[in-house]
Amino acid sequence: MEVAYNPYENMLQVLELAAHKLGLDPDEYENIKYPERELKVSIPIRMDNGRKKIFEGYRVQHSSCRGPCKGGIRYHPEVDIDEVKALAAWMTFKCAVVNIPYGGAKGAVKVDPSQLSKSELERLTRRFTAAIIPIIGPEKDIPAPDVNTNAEVMGWIMDTYSMLHGYAIPGVVTGKPLDIGGSLGRPEATGRGVSIITQEMLKYLGMPEKDVRIAIQGMGNVGGISAKLLHEQGHKIVAVSDVSGGIYKGDGLDIPAVREYIARNGTLAGYAPDGGRKITNDELIECDCEVLIPCALQNQITDANAEAVRARLIIEGANGPTAVEADEILNKKGVIISPDILSNAGGVVVSYFEWVQNIQELTWDEDQINATLKKIMVNSFAQVLDIVQKSNVTFRVAAYMLAVSKLVKAQNTRGLFP
């Protein structure tokens, strides 16, 4: 019988490996295996047809040891508590890898937002916000966008939280629209971080810094911006996809045209450039390219397709796109993987800048934001690479080692209450 994929189990396996490499006593990291708090809420909303419908939502706070919890909110029909728990833990590790003073959290609503009208989506968001209000706040837990949520949704969260407190509290959420305290550079931040890590990896591997053939799964916030920036840096984006499927063009796609098509139609379906051919999302994972950048969902590279991956380098833009079994196969094949907790950390770094601007009531210019982001990403890459070389481990295990050592140090410094 096939064992169902469990992202939380996936996370625990890598955590154990990293703790073992660090020579930690189980006592020192046992609590990192458990989220601090899990909240499950029911969200009744009035549908446009006058009927009431109940949705299920979650907010999981994995750790507040190094600072307030931080993590996105995902709207997806198949989301479950184990996925949210794993995503929350990855946020803790990610914030530690890039050394920003946050812990990790994640939230989700089990819903297919494409089936809701805009006003239903707004009521859902506002009611979900009200349901998790006891545990969120600028000093406690700060949500952000994730799959199927965006700046507009973050604006509704900010407004709901502020109305229920009686004054404007922009620092409760990041990824907001600019005119209510959002930050310049935040919409592009995750993709910008992905492109910075891609360039650092290419340099490290002695691969050309231009004209490399890249395949990108997912053309939403992360994939779309990664494609744009890597294309601008002179690479050939040979394949892209979204939930409707993908397109392959060996001599490179016209990325501005692809993005314009998606912006106009809301989907890649029907896009047919000269010389391009339709592919499925499975074919994209196995397509002829040097770099594969999964930017959609978790568990896309599995033991079923890892052997067929042709890329030499994988940059994880999505959270958890590679299953543990696939990791082993890819490592044996010599494929280098930049793990999610390093490569997609640009989003939370600029979210942190947004929050800092909100609580200090000032604004940074975009050059300052992008330059500081680059410095942090390049430094974090160098620190992970140093562990790779000194401890002879993969980039994933090295990134976990960096994160876990920081967490354990912070825990030891704080001591165990009471």
Q: Is 108 in the site for ligand NAD (CB under 6 A)?
A: no
Nearest Cα to Cα of residue 317 among 297, 288, 287: 297
| Cβ burial, residue 345 (10 Å; 0-12/13-18/19+) | buried
d(CA 86, CA 385): 24
Exactly one of 106, 228, 236, 406 is catalytic; which is it?
A: 106
DSSP secondary structure letter of residue 282: H
Least distance from ligand NAD to the Cβ atom of residue 385, Å: 21
Q: Which range, of 29-37, 59-67, 218-226, 407-415, touches ligand NAD by CB under 6 A? A: 218-226
Q: Is 195 in the site for ligand NAD (CB under 6 A)?
A: no
Q: Is 190 in the site for ligand NAD (CB under 6 A)?
A: yes
Please say which residue, 88 or 136, places its beta carbon nearer to ligand NAD.
88
Contact status, residue 41 vs residue 111, Cβ threshold 8 Å = no
Contact status, residue 320 vs residue 13, Cβ threshold 8 Å = no
10 Å Cβ neighbour count for 300?
23
Please say which residue, 19 or 70, places its beta carbon nearer to ligand NAD.
70
Least distance from ligand NAD to the Cβ atom of residue 226, Å: 9
Site string for ligand NAD, 6-35 (x = CB under 6 A): ------------------------------
Distances (CA, A) of 30 to 2, 128, 382: 29, 31, 28
d(CA 261, CA 39): 39
Which residue's CB comes closest to ligand NAD? Answer: 220
Q: Is 357 in the site for ligand NAD (CB under 6 A)?
A: no
406 is catalytic: no
d(CA 349, CA 375): 11
Collapsing DSSP to helix, strand or coil, 133 comes out as: helix
> Binding to ligand NAD (CB under 6 A): which residues in 140-179?
145-148
Q: Is 399 in the site for ligand NAD (CB under 6 A)?
A: no
Selected binder of ligand NAD within 154, 297, 388, 399 (CB under 6 A): 297
DSSP secondary structure letter of residue 41: E
Please say which residue, 131 or 219, places its beta carbon nearer to ligand NAD.
219
Q: Which range, of 38-46, 212-220, 330-338, 407-415, touches ligand NAD by CB under 6 A? A: 212-220
d(CA 242, CA 300): 13
Q: Is 317 in the site for ligand NAD (CB under 6 A)?
A: yes
Q: Which parts of 167-220 fold into alpha helices (H)?
A: 186-204
Q: What is the size of the binding site for ligand NAD (CB under 6 A)? A: 24
Structure tokens at 124: 């859902």
Q: Is 221 in the site for ligand NAD (CB under 6 A)?
A: yes
List all residues 6 or more positions away from 271 whose beta carbon is below 8 Å from its beta carbon. 247, 258, 261, 262, 265
> Binding to ligand NAD (CB under 6 A): which residues in 243-262?
243
d(CA 40, CA 110): 11
Q: Is 125 in the site for ligand NAD (CB under 6 A)?
A: no
Which residues belong to the active site?
106
Task: Summarize as ranges the residues that interact with ligand NAD (CB under 6 A).
Answer: 145-148, 190, 217-223, 241-243, 281, 295-297, 317-319, 344, 347
